[in-house]
Amino acid sequence: MENSFTEENYLKAIYKLSRKGDSGVSTNALAERMDTKASSATDMIKRLSTKKLVDHKKYQGVTLTEKGRKVAVDIIRKHRLWEVFLVEHLGFGWDEVHDVAEQLEHISSPLLVERLDRFLNHPKYDPHGGPIPDAEGNFPAPARIKLDELPLGKQSKVLGVTEHSDSFLAYLKKVGLDLGQAFTLTDRHDFDRSVEILLNGETLHVSHDVAKHIFVAN
Amino acid sequence: MENSFTEENYLKAIYKLSRKGDSGVSTNALAERMDTKASSATDMIKRLSTKKLVDHKKYQGVTLTEKGRKVAVDIIRKHRLWEVFLVEHLGFGWDEVHDVAEQLEHISSPLLVERLDRFLNHPKYDPHGGPIPDAEGNFPAPARIKLDELPLGKQSKVLGVTEHSDSFLAYLKKVGLDLGQAFTLTDRHDFDRSVEILLNGETLHVSHDVAKHIFVAN
DNA sequence: ATTAATTTTTAGACTTATCTAAATTTTGTT
DNA sequence: AACAAAATTTAGATAAGTCTAAAAATTAAT
């Protein structure tokens, strides 16, 4: 009942594609991500489906089952732990680690992962800032602050809000500040405490009244 | 032109079987070592042969080419370096490391190996005492002393001799002290500087005149 | 030196993961 | 609603690695 490297890579891809876009992952999107053909993706979807790692209805896209999610998150955990090791102990640059970690993430040994985690002192984030899930698959609560406290020039993304009125949410939707939306804080105006952010190539002006209600990644 | 894990494992097996027994490795021996069928071994031998990693004449057994030897030795290098890491830094017991190292040895990244080697301080031996070849595939000269200098109770094996007369070699052969023969030094007699060793369950008395001409592992 | 036993190789089939090309379903457009 | 376009699935092939069963070559033994 072992999963092949390929199966693991598909599961990871499905997991990541699920994050953005809430519904099932399309065959095409998956194939593109895996740098392969749609027919190959279909084949793999069937295989994963018989192993109860994904749910799939024909022409409807795939979603991970709880079992599949566990596998995917565990791969991510291993990937990020190895990245920490490579950068902090072997002197790799943050841009050199990905390909190697891509191989190491498939090493199958719970004992190894546990001891590596301890050796690294239970890191919560990888060298790119990616959160490292624990052995149970829980991600650390993301460090978050309000948008009006974000340092100038910092990249971030929307994590949540403290104001839930329809009009506020409608406004956010209209200007494109959806949950998970990435942006960069490009300017800050002290006179009214408003900020300017760059999202999807557009500059957006955000008043302090709005900014103070938005949680963003730190 | 990448080698698969399976191909690498076969090369390693051929390498290790070549050490003992000087001629080519038989298909059966290889199949047994790989825990598979002779027909599968034959198939793989053909594959490796077309890749110029082994030399093979039908029904004659295989030998590694220089290219094949390089690959095999590099796998061994990686295996043993990872074992050092697991034991010295992750707190694995010497008996827990093999299976994990068996996976890690296939990670393909010269940069990783180089940096791991440096991180570990260029170890010459793994936790089992196995010599670690350098990046060029050269094994460290084995530490060796004369049999008459070996500490009491120590396990060792025959590495060579300093006396090459027919009668001396014939004597060694007769009593079973062949090259590579493992034994334990069980007793030492100060009055004539002779020693007693245990090999293959038999106790053998070795005079000082003989012992001083035999190199053994330290 | 002919058998008998053993070893090795071939032949044909199966699985995983992939591909191309064709068929089908869904979606979008007029 | 009907047709075109796009997305998805199926069908049939291929390559790696394995297997069983049978054939061929080698080695051992009488």
Query: What's residue A138's pLDDT?
Result: 95
Report the chain B residue with the minimal C-alpha distance to residue A117.
B90
Contact A131, A163 (CB under 8 A): no
SS3 label, residue B197: strand
Q: Is B56 helix (H, G, I), strand (E, B) or coil?
A: strand
Tell me if B99 and A86 make a contact (CB, 8 A cut-off).
no
Contact present, A157 and A179 (Cβ < 8 Å)? no
What does the pLDDT look like over A123-140, one tens digit per residue? 998 887 688 999 999 999
B88: contact with A, CB 8 A cutoff: no
What pLDDT is attached to residue A1?
A: 60
Q: Binning pLDDT at 50, 70 and 90, where does residue A87 land?
A: very high
Strand partners, B104: none
Residue A50 CA to residue A138 CA, distance in Å, equals 26
Cβ contacts of B108 on chain A, cutoff 8 Å:
103
Integer distance in angstroms from CA A49 to C1' C16? 15
| 3-class DSSP assignment, residue A11 | helix
pTM for this structure?
A: 0.77
Task: Check whether B193 has a pLDDT greater than 80.
Answer: yes
For the cut 90, the answer to whether the pLDDT of residue A28 exceeds it is yes
Structure tokens at A72: 């995917």
